[in-house]
Amino acid sequence: MPPEIWFPHLGIEIKKINPVAFHIFKIPVYWYGILIGLGVLVGLKVATKEAKRTGQDPEIYMDFLLYALIAAIIGARLYYVAFSWDEYKDNLLKIFATREGGLAIYGGVIGAVIAAFFYTRAKKIDFWILADTCAPSLIIGQAIGRWGNFVNQEAFGGYTDSLFAMRLMKNNIYDVPQEVLDNIKIINGIEYIQVHPTFLYESMWNLMIFIILIQCRKYKKINGEIFMLYLLGYALGRIWIEGLRTDQLLIPHTSIPISQVIAGISIFFALFFIYFRRKKNYS
């Protein structure tokens, strides 16, 4: 049986990968959802542990999680739909068909931040302390969740023959760009596309940012600093990785990826915030 997914330069072959993990009463449960759920649980554990370390009530973060999840899902879906409007404008009910895919991480982050703003105002707690506590949880959750894209064989990049090049059976993939089709590999009669595994790049980048944030907590000078380092670190990686992807969401009527624009704004805002808050703190 030929491998379905293949990392030829690493000697890794995966014979078969099924997006469905199991069924409950004939209802499919997808690995994508399981991995997102695992990311959420790991993130919650990190947040409650940090809350204890800093003398906060861990129950705050268990309570906030529900609001954050709902807002993140809504935000992720609205972001995706807004920048894929041609796909939905003639069938508005399709907007609610989230099981077909179509969630964007930046939309999820924006939704969660909005939920955090209103939650902290209602509970009369410091927004920036909550943001700092949640930042490492957010990035480690993203690192785990990206493996859902691997299982679904999506969110990959253009052609490459680098060390981490990933081969996927062409018949399993939709909307393959011409650049990738021009470099089809035929192995034992099977057509493979060979692409950048951008899910892997982003997962490993996010893991690195998580480690940096954990280390930076002991040097924190102002509330909000850890969250801004999250914005900065994630955005730097996203600008690079988004440029490799073949499924970019573009600003309407342009060839500019919206995620790169938001990443650029995030970098500027994070540096501006850290510089002026620290300056104000020491003046």
User: Per-domain residue ranges for the chain?
Assistant: 5-215
**Torsion region of 124: left, alpha or beta (phi above 0 gives left; psi -120 to 50 gives alpha):** left
> Residues 164-175: what's their mean pLDDT?
91
Bridge partners (DSSP) of residue 29 are: 22
C-alpha R_g of the chain: 20
User: What pLDDT shows up at residue 103?
Assistant: 83
User: What pLDDT shows up at residue 38?
Assistant: 97
User: What pLDDT shows up at residue 282?
Assistant: 58
Of 25-34, 191-200, 216-225, 271-280, give the lowest mean pLDDT range: 271-280
**Are 152 and 146 in contact, with CB atoms under 8 Å apart?**
no
| Nearest C-alpha neighbor of 166 from the set 142, 144, 204, 198 | 198
> Residues 109-122: what's their mean pLDDT?
97
Percent of the chain past pLDDT 90, that is, above it, reads: 79
CA 103-14-153 angle, 5° bins = 20
**Are 226 and 220 in contact, with CB atoms under 8 Å apart?**
yes
* Per-residue confidence band for 121, with pLDDT thresholds at 50, 70 and 90: very high
**Are 4 and 14 in contact, with CB atoms under 8 Å apart?**
yes
Strand (E) or helix (H) holding 194: strand 190-195
pLDDT per residue over 61-94, tens digit each?
999 999 999 999 999 999 999 898 888 877 777 7
CA 16-22-27 angle, 5° bins = 125
> Residues 14-23: what's their mean pLDDT?
93
CA dihedral 89, 93, 97, 102 (to 10 degrees): 20
Question: What is the average pLDDT value for the chain, to the nearest integer?
Answer: 92
**Are 45 and 141 in contact, with CB atoms under 8 Å apart?**
no
Asked whether the predicted pLDDT for residue 135 surpasses 60, the reply is yes
Asked whether the predicted pLDDT for residue 283 surpasses 60, the reply is no
Distance CA(154)–CA(148), nearest Å, equals 9
> Residues 217-243: what's their mean pLDDT?
94
Angle between helices 59-82 and 31-53 (to 10 degrees): 140
User: What pLDDT shows up at residue 106?
Assistant: 93
Local structure of 1: helix, strand or coil: coil
- What phi and psi values does residue 142 have, to the nearest 5 degrees? -65, -40
Distance CA(24)–CA(197), nearest Å, equals 31
Distance CA(127)–CA(191), nearest Å, equals 52
Nearby residues of 47 by Cβ (< 8 Å), 6 or more positions away: 58, 61, 133, 134, 136, 137
Bridge partners (DSSP) of residue 7 are: 12
Asked whether the predicted pLDDT for residue 180 surpasses 70, the reply is yes
Local structure of 56: helix, strand or coil: coil
Bridge partners (DSSP) of residue 6 are: 13, 167
